Structure 1
Amino acid sequence: MSGEGTIRERIVKLLMETQRPLSASEIASMLGLPAGSEREVYEHLRHIAKTVRRMSGGKLALYMVPPQCKKCGYVFKLDKPRKPSKCPRCNSQWIDPPRFYIAEV
């Protein structure tokens, strides 16, 4: 999906066209970004959250399905989009990453 527009524009378009929430690694691979660019995608998502709401007049928003421990089920409560390194409850590193989608408010 290496197309026209900036990376942020391409991420917004991808999130609006998909039927399910996507993780940062899925977004990076679908856009053809180099491996290990998840951190860059998280940074773009922070800005996209503000831009989408402003550009749509408050009708659309970027939503985050929070990360969850696959071992004990702990759901992380994060302000910023990122993948936690380990679970504070059971210390497992088996974490389901946050997933993102754009929908109407």
Structure 2
Amino acid sequence: METTRQRIADALREEPRTASDLGAALSLPTPTVYEHLEHVSRSVGEGDADEEFLVAPPTCRDCGFDGFDDPLNEPSRCPECRSERIDEPAFVIR
């Protein structure tokens, strides 16, 4: 039986996914997925140096800003234009 973190890592090895995608697929609330992603990001590459945990940062749909401080967190608004139209970060293991 796989742990939740193993299931998340396996899903990210298949294709890029957002926390919402993972939450829906694994029946988990999005904030819980973000907690697991922090641990998955630290464990990837420890035993297998060929793998990397990659993050496509969140992006503001109004002004295009993508320089958010913490890519492992879903921002509520853009620091540049204050818009709340933010695309979620996407994660993948390659």
Identity %: 37
Cα deviation 1:45-66 (Å, max 9, x = unaligned): 111111111021x210111100
Partner of 2:91: 100
Give the match for residue 77 of structure 2.
86
**RMSD across aligned positions (CA):** 1.3
Q: How far apart are the structure 2 equivalents of 1:39 and 1:85?
A: 13
Ranges in structure 1 where 5+ consecutive residues have no aligned partner: none
TM-score (norm 1): 0.83
What does residue range 18-97 of structure 1 map to in structure 2 within 5 Å?
Answer: 18=15, 21-33=16-28, 37-56=29-48, 58-79=49-70, 81-97=72-88
Q: How many residues align?
A: 94
Gaps of 5+ in 2: none
1:78-103 Cα offsets, whole Å, 9 max, x none, are: 34500111011111000001100001
Query: 2:12 and 2:68 mapped to 1: Cα distance?
Result: 22
Native 8 Å contact 1:22 1:100 kept in 2? yes
How many Å separate the matches in 2 of 1:22 and 1:16? 10
Instruction: Give the TM-score normalised by structure 2.
Output: 0.92
Aligned to 1:60, the other structure's residue is in SS state: coil
Q: What's the CA shift for 1:38?
A: 1.0
In structure 2, relative to structure 1, the CA distance for the partners of 1:85 and 1:79 (3 Å cut) is closer
The secondary structure found in structure 1 opposite 2:92 is strand
Amino acid at match of 1:25: S
